[in-house]
Every structure is written in structure tokens, then in C-alpha cells.
Amino acid sequence: MNRQALAVRTGKWILLLFLLLAFAAAGLKLLYPFPYRKEIDRWASEYSIDSSLVAALIRTESHFRPHAVSSAGAIGLMQIMPATGEWIAGKLNVEAFTATNLNDPGTNIRFGAWYLGYLIDRFGDIDTALIAYNAGPRNAERWRENADEMFPETTEYVSRAMEAARAYRLLYTLPVIGPFFRALPL
């Protein structure tokens, strides 16, 4: 095979490899989207928590659907209960709060990020904070103090949230992969 044919063949393999990597990256970006990144970064930074963890929590809670409502009545991206939202509004000095404010992505992310930071500070670790976020602080305290077995869905929730947080960190913040991944137009 002459040099020109070898160069053409090598070029085709490189193009094929690039296309395969681009399709794989696009697939991963569909699995781990990052809408509302500006708001997530803003409030995660404000409350000194990892934006990858906030994105993972949103993915786990609502799959980035801002008007999601759970069967228990939790509202919005971060699935905040109206009573918890009212309590958070008081802590943040937000006046004229109503539960419908939780449908606003910016408000929901702000309140959810603050609450997650509060739970991390209160319990001292992310796993217990996620348990409390999912099942309530009283259950988290009871399970921690009495070594009782958690709800199976809470165990699964923590596992999914932590796995998603690792994926977000890997895909969006690593020096080489992150900029490439963020540049994908999905």
C-alpha cells in the first residue's frame, strides 16, 4: 500500500473514532444533562456546596422538570415540600412566599441548595444529608442514632444521587473532558 492510500485509510479511521466518541459523549450528555447551570452554579457557590451534587439531586428528584409534583406534594426541580419551602423562605427572609413560588426554577434551586447546605452542616456528611433530604431529618436522626434499617427507596435514592454526582463531576469539571462536554450543543 502506498503512502497516499495509507494516509487516506488512517484518516478514515481517525474520523470514525472521532464520530464514535462524539456519539458516546452526546449519549452521556443526554443521560446527564445540565440545564439551569447558571442558577445551579450561583446558588451552590453561595451556599458552599458542590454544583455537581446539586445537579445530581435535581436529576434524581425531578429529572430537570420544573413543574414536577410528587405524590407526597413536593414541588419543582428539587422537590421541596410546601411547608419546608415556607420554613426556608423564613430563614432566607423571603417575603410573600407561596408554594407556587417553588415552580420557579431559580427559586426552587435557591431554596433546595440552601436546604441541602443546611442538612450537610447539620449532619456533618453528605450521605446523611441526602438521607434527610429524601426521608426527612427526623428519620435520618432516628436511623443514625438507633442504627435502624432505612427505607429501601431511601438507600436507592442516596446511591443514585451519589452516582450521578460522580458522573457530573467527571463529565463537566475534568480539565480535558469538561470543556469538550460543555461545548456539545445538547
The catalytic residues are 61
Per DSSP, 96 falls in state S
Distance between CA 134 and CA 97 in Å, rounded?
23
Distance between CA 57 and CA 45 in Å, rounded?
15
75: three-class secondary structure by DSSP: strand
Return phi, psi of residue 80, to 5°: -100, 130
Neighbours of 83 (CB within 10 A): 10
Nearest Cα neighbor of 164 from 65, 79, 56, 44 is 56
